[in-house]
Every structure is written in structure tokens, then in C-alpha cells.
Amino acid sequence: MHPVLEVPSGRPRACFHFDGKPMVGVDGEMVSSALVANGIRTFSIHRRGSSPQGIFCANGQCSQCTVVIDGHPRKSCVTALRDGMDIRTLRHLPHLPPDDRSFGGSRVETRTCQVLVIGGGPSGLTASLELARLGISVLLVDDKDHLGGKLLLQTHKFFGSIEDCHAGTRGIDIARILENELRTRTKVQVLTNASVVGIFKDRKAGVLINGDSYLLVDFQGLILASGARERSLIFPGNDLPGVYGAGAFQTLLNRDLVAPAKRVFIVGSGNVGLIAAYHALQAGICVSGIADILPEPSGYKVHASKIKRMGVPIYLGHTILCAEGEGRVERISIAQVDSDFNPLLDTAKTFLVDTLLVAVGLTPADEFHDTASDFGFPVVKAGDAAEIAEASSAMFGGRMAALQVARRLGLSVAEEPSFHEKMEVLSARPGPLHKLPAPVIGDDFQPVIHCDQEIPCDPCTSVCPVHAIELEGSNRNILDLPRYLGGCTGCAMCIAVCPGLAITLVRRLDRQKALVVLAHEYIPTFAPGDAVPLVNREGALLQHGTVQKIRRNKKYGTWLIHVQVPLEDAGAIAGIRIQDPSLVAPTPRAIPDFIPENGILCRCERITVGEVLEHIRKFQVEDANDLKQIRVGMGACGGKTCSVLLPRVFAMAGVDWSRVTRGTLRPLSVEVPMKAIANEDQRP
């Protein structure tokens, strides 16, 4: 059971075999999720070092989750499970099935559109809608089976403003709203399960559909709304099964409804890492901690505070040393860093966890942009492909990209200056912290606002039926902080809608006691009359309070917990701790086996950073393409995963990255079977 997501019952089952063992999954779910749900962590055995490999990106990018399905190697994270599948661990190299039926003939399929939109996430959806509004024909392609992109993983309520970007609504619901609107537009054709595999010089895009057919798209303009991919991180053990990208973890958890872990540790305290912790806790997974090399959390402070209130320690100024275990993650170690970010090994702490989430940021998946603009095609980036930011700003970015590309196609389209301004606000970095005044608690309900950092967010002001909350500050936009004006009716809409769970409702009961209403996004494990641990804004334990009432706000899917507390703490109480910190303490003695050069740089070919450094030094490498000589970037992913790590690696080798010639990216971006390219007619 999940506090936010509805787990559909009666989903059709699919029986399959894994390495000969019968297993059951859900028909149509991704094979990777079915395997994880059945406890499988090792998907392949790499030919270098016979090392076990697990799922890493769950996003069709990295190919580490390849298994052999009915004789064919396939990325399990983008292959739908079907009844009767024979799935096997890929051991070293696959055998090519001896399918010697004569060739059935080929067919080149071409489709024409004015604008090809790559990616059906928040920016791709809004871009397509805007283009359709302008009367421009659109082909929207997305490599997943449902539109929505990362919105589908976002069970939390959105920051931003209600008017502009559905703030306060959960991402999964926003995806549905946008898709429904899109499906009514005749100017828009949609292809799902479709990956753009290359942009070609003759102004065509190659699209692989359902893994088995190939379409050439003849376009005039291009919007690249292909999102971002997660940054990898180099440390020993970084390719052990159980090390995932945080986004991959969210995919398994929130899209596919499988819990891939019992205890996780998270590297990175940006919004992605913080939200991953929150999602893990919602799924009943213990979060042992979050480490960040920086001295402050990188994400919104309201997120970080929320996570701390739930009982997750955040280790600032700490780096990951290593992940270790027999064939999978069993323990991880972190250590404090010095001022040069080097680990201080005597500060090492070891945690017994089965999963390590890497949440060290995202990189735009924008390589087609460079190709297309080198070829001189009108191309505009939108969403994370343009700039890593919240989905709320991506929705504006999409609309702006649509106007831009329309203009580049020669249409006279007026600028919409407000779009730009709104997008800037929505993608603003968190601003300064403010000290909040201590509230004076009266006999009537009033909101106590624990929102102390300037972030682009305003739902609390919009939902209040009596307009008792307004934004106040120097920005004069939604970055300003909310302030209570008086007149609260106690309806609790503001606390139910707040994405940061940063508002409580408080009322004095008598001279000693007060009532506090808290937003709670976990399935309550307590009942009225029970005592619950209450914490202040930053998670410090204040009191145990007695639960009076448990309600659920259906519209926002949030529980509202009424707790009776001593009056003097009422204004400070900000949440209920749901994880006891003693359960997530490090082991008494740290036991890291830290050999930094063993970290894997190129996951596809399993090349360690040590091997790469040696090559760079030995051959005085100043051209990233030269790393192909030791097969870095020659694997299935084509360097998509490791290329972003190269600046650091060259720096480690003492080579100034600005002098290094960048690696060349060539099509195809995804491997395509020959029969698909030829659209082979295989009728018997």
C-alpha cells in the first residue's frame, strides 16, 4: 500500500522464466521492474572481470540492464513484459540467434511534419500544444509507453504557481491533464515507444518504434524536449548491482510500483536526492542518510527540512568513499572532506544498506541539438534539455520553444514576454533564508508558516478561500515568502496543498495546551490517543503529542493529523518524525576498502578511472576521442553516461579540460536491429 499512489488491483499477470525459474509479473510492465519485484538484482555478467551488473538508469540510456529475452539481448528497462517470456542473465557476449529464414524485403517509411518534438515530458507536451494552437503540424515522439516524462514519477505536489503550472497538483496528475488536452488536437500526431536514434544531414530523423520498426521523419523544425540524464559518479563499487541513479529508483518505485530496496543511502542533497528520500520513505523504505560534499543542502531548504523532520540525517561536507558487497551493495562508506574536497579517511562512516542512490545532478540530454544546429536546421531546446530546472518552469520553456521555432519557420508569431519572465522565476535558484517571527498562538486557528527560503511557490495563497495568506517581499513575484494576514477559518487547505509540508494550523486549547494540525504524507501508523514524536522545523525532537484526529484531504491526497501539544511548543512543531534516527546510525566501526582508481568510468565497457588516467598520462591525451582506443565510449550508450565525467578525469590526470578536444557523438543513439531498420516484412 502506498500513501499517495493508488496501486491498481487485478492487473493482468504475466508468467515468465528467469534463468529457467518460473516467475510472475504484471503484463506490460517493464521487464526490469518485474525482475526487481522478483528479487533479481543481477541482470548481466560483464565480460570484463565477470562482474555482475544491475539496473542503473531505468531510462533506456545506459544499457546496463541488458538481459537476454527470448534469445535476444534487450534493455530490460524499455522492454514490456509479456506472458511466456524466457528471460536470461546476459553472460559476457550474447549469441546471435541462427534465424536463417530468407530476407523478407525492406520498406522505407517516411512521415512528414512541420515540427518534430522529441520528448513528451512537461516541456514537450506544452510545446506541442502551443504549436498546435498556432496551426503547425507536430509529430511528438516519446521513448516511453506513456506521455508525461518525469511527471509520471512525481508523486509530490508541485511548487510554482497554480495559475501557471498547476502548483499544488502532483506531477502524475499534471501529465494526465496535459495529455488529455493534447489528444484533442488534430494537428498533433503522437508516437510513443519511439526513440529518435539519429538526426541526419538530409534533414531527416531516424525513429525506432517499438524496437522493431523504423521511421524516417522529414521535418522543418525541431524541438528538443528530451529531458536530462542523471550524472554518474566515480567511486569504487559504483557499478555494483544496487547502485542506481535516484531517478531510476523513482521510476521503479513510483511508476512501476516495485520497492527495489529495504535500506538506502543517498549521495547528493539536491532536490532529486531529497525527493528520492521522501519517496523511499513513502514506500516504507528506510533511508539511512543523505551525504553531500557541499556544506549546505543543494536543493530547496523546505525539502531538506522536510526530510530531516522525517528522521533522515543529512551528512553535509561528506563524500561517498565506496560501495561494497558480494555481487551487490551490502554496505557503503562516506567520509568528511577537507577544503579541497579530498576525503578524510579517519572520519569514515560505514552504513549497512542494500541500495545506494546517486543523485548528484542531471545533465541535459541535448546532443541532437548540436547535431541539428551544425546541420543548419531550426532547432530549439526546451525543458531540462535546455536547462536543468523544475518541471514547472519546463512547462513554460516548452511554450516559449514553440513560439521560437514557429518564428524560425517564418511564421509571424508575437512574443509572449510574460512567458520568459515566468520561466525565469520558476527556474530561479533558491534565494536567501529569512528568520521567521515566533507566532503568537490565539484561540482561533491560524497557519504557522515554516517556509523560510525564497523559492518559486505560491499555492498556499491561491487556495485560501478568505485570502488570509499573501506573498510579501522585495521580489514582487512568487519567490516572495507567504505571510498570514489574519482571518483564518481553519479549513486547512493551505497545509494540504503546501508541497513543502511547511505550514501547520495551530489553536490554543487552554492555558497549557494547544492543538496543532500537521500535514502527513505517510500511511498513519498511529491512531487517535497514541503519542507521536513531534519535531521542530529542522527535525529536532521537541515533544510527544497525543493524536486527536486523523483526516484525509482527498483533493490533495494528504493526511491531516490533529495533535494535542503543550502550548509553549505549538508554534515550533512542524512535523511528525516517522523514522527513528537510532535505526539508521552508522556501524560502530567504519570499514571502507577504498581504492579510488577502481571506480568505473565507462560502464558499457567497464573501464576504470585508473585505466583511463594511465592512458591519458602515457599518451599525453588531449583529444577525448583518443579514449576510444581503450574503448571508453565505444559501448552501447555511446558515451552518453561517461562523457560528462571526463572534465574531472582529465583534471585528475593534470590536463586542462579547456584544451581537450571534445569527443564526437555519432548516430545511432540507441542500438537498432537491422530488421527494424529495413522494416523487414517477416510474414511467413
Partner 1 sequence: MHVHDVVVMGAGSIGQPIALELALRGLNVAIIDRLSAPGRGQNRAAIGGMRATHSDPAKIEICTRSLDIVKRMESEHGLPVDWFQGGYLYPAYDPHTEHVLKSLLTTQQEAGLDIAWVDAETIYELVPGIVRNGLRGGNYSPGDGSTSPLKLSLAYSLLCRRAGVSYHMEREITGFRLAEDRIVRIDTSRDSFSCGTIIDATGAGARTIGAMLGLDIPVFPESHEAGITEPARRFFQPMVVDIRPGPDSANYYFYQNKENQVVFCLTPDPAIPGTDQDCTSAFLPQVTSRMMGIYPRLRNLRVRRTWRGLYPMTPDGFPIVGPAGYPENLWLAVGMCGQGFMLGPGLGQIMADIIADGSTAHQEILGQLKLQRDFSGEEKLK
Binding site for partner 1 (CB under 8 A): 71-73, 93-103, 105-106, 108, 198, 200-202, 204-206, 214, 216, 374-375, 618-619, 621-623, 625-626, 628-629, 631, 636, 638, 661, 666-668, 671-675, 677-678, 680
Q: Grid coordinates in use for 219? A: 521535418
**Of 324 and 671, which has the nearer Cβ to partner 1?**
671
Cell numbers given for 423: 520561466
Query: Across-strand partners of 189?
Result: 139
Closest approach of partner 1 to the CB of residue 200, in Å? 4
Q: How far is the CB of 96 from partner 1 (least distance, A)?
A: 4
- Smallest gap from Cβ 662 to partner 1, in A, equals 10
Q: What is the smallest separation between the CB atom of 141 and partner 1, expressed in angstroms?
A: 15
Alpha carbon separation from 146 to 288, 399, 541 (Å, rounded): 33, 21, 43
Cα–Cα distance, 241 to 320 (Å, whole number) = 16
Cis, peptide link before residue 668, omega less than 30° from 0? yes
Shortest distance, CB of residue 626 to partner 1, whole angstroms?
5
Please give the full DSSP string across 105-122, using - where no structure is assigned. Answer: ----EEEE-SEEEE--SH
Please tell me the distance from the alpha carbon of residue 447 to that of residue 574, in angstroms, as a whole number: 11
Please, are residues 669 and 197 in contact by the beta-carbon 8 Å criterion? yes
Cell, residue 376: 543548419
CA–CA distance, 676 with 210 (Å, rounded to integer): 9
Give whichever of 102 and 412 is closer to partner 1, judged by the CB atom: 102
> 104 exposed, middle or buried (CB, 10 Å; 0-12, 13-18, 19+)?
middle
| Of 200 and 657, CB closest to partner 1 | 200
Single-letter amino acid code for the residue at 68: V
The least CB distance from residue 75 to partner 1, in Å, is 10
Q: How far is the CB of 605 from partner 1 (least distance, A)?
A: 9
* Polymer length in residues for the chain: 684
Query: Least distance from C-beta 365 to partner 1, angstroms?
Result: 18
> How far is Cα 219 from Cα 118, in angstroms, rounded to an integer?
12
Q: 233 and 320 in contact (C-beta within 8 Å)?
A: yes
Indicate the residue among 411 and 678 with the shorter CB distance to partner 1: 678
- For partner 1, the closer CB: 533 or 673: 673
- CB 224 to partner 1: min, Å: 18
Helix runs in 245-322, H state only: 246-250, 271-282, 301-309
Q: Looking at beta carbons only, is 182 or 196 nearer to partner 1?
A: 196
As given in the structure block, the three cell numbers for residue 216 are: 524516417
Write down the least CB distance from residue 58 to partner 1, Å. Answer: 20
Minimal distance in Å, beta carbon 207 to partner 1? Answer: 11
**Least Å from the CB of residue 55 to partner 1:** 19
- Spatial distance between the Cα atoms of 495 and 563, rounded to a whole number of angstroms: 14
DSSP one-letter string for 285-303: -EEEEEEESSSS-SS-HHH
237: left (phi over 0), alpha (psi -120 to 50) or beta: left
What's the Cα-to-Cα distance from 356 to each of 8, 75, 240, 463, rounded to whole Å? 28, 21, 10, 38
Rounded Cα distance between 269 and 288, Å, is: 13
Of the pair 51, 548, the CB lying nearest partner 1 is at: 51
Give per-residue burial for 326-342: e unless 16+ CB within 10 Å, then b.
Answer: eebbebbbbbbbeeeee
Question: Shortest Cβ distance from residue 622 to partner 1 (Å)?
Answer: 6
Complex with partner 1: residue 390 or 605, whichever CB lies closer: 605
**Nearer to partner 1 (CB atom), residue 96 or residue 438:** 96
**Where does residue 19 fall: left (phi above 0), alpha (psi -120 to 50 degrees), or beta otherwise?**
left
Looking at the Cβ atoms of 581 and 667, the one nearer to partner 1 is 667
Grid cell at residue 84: 511466456
Rounded CA-CA distance 247/244 in Å is 8
Cα–Cα distance for residue pair 669/370, rounded to 1 Å: 14
Phi, psi of 447 (to 5 degrees): -75, 140
Cβ closest to partner 1, residue 491 vs residue 665 = 665
Rounded least distance, CB 499 to partner 1, Å: 42
| Residue 101 vs 435, nearer CB to partner 1 | 101
Give whichever of 189 and 625 is closer to partner 1, judged by the CB atom: 625
In angstroms, give the least distance from the CB of 239 to partner 1: 19
Q: Is the separation of the CB atoms in 248 and 56 below 8 Å? A: yes
Place of cell 535546455: 386
Nearer to partner 1, 105 or 490 (CB): 105
Helix or strand run (H / E) with residue 398 = helix 391-408
Three-class SS state of 53? strand
Q: Which is nearer to partner 1, 96 or 527 (CB)?
A: 96
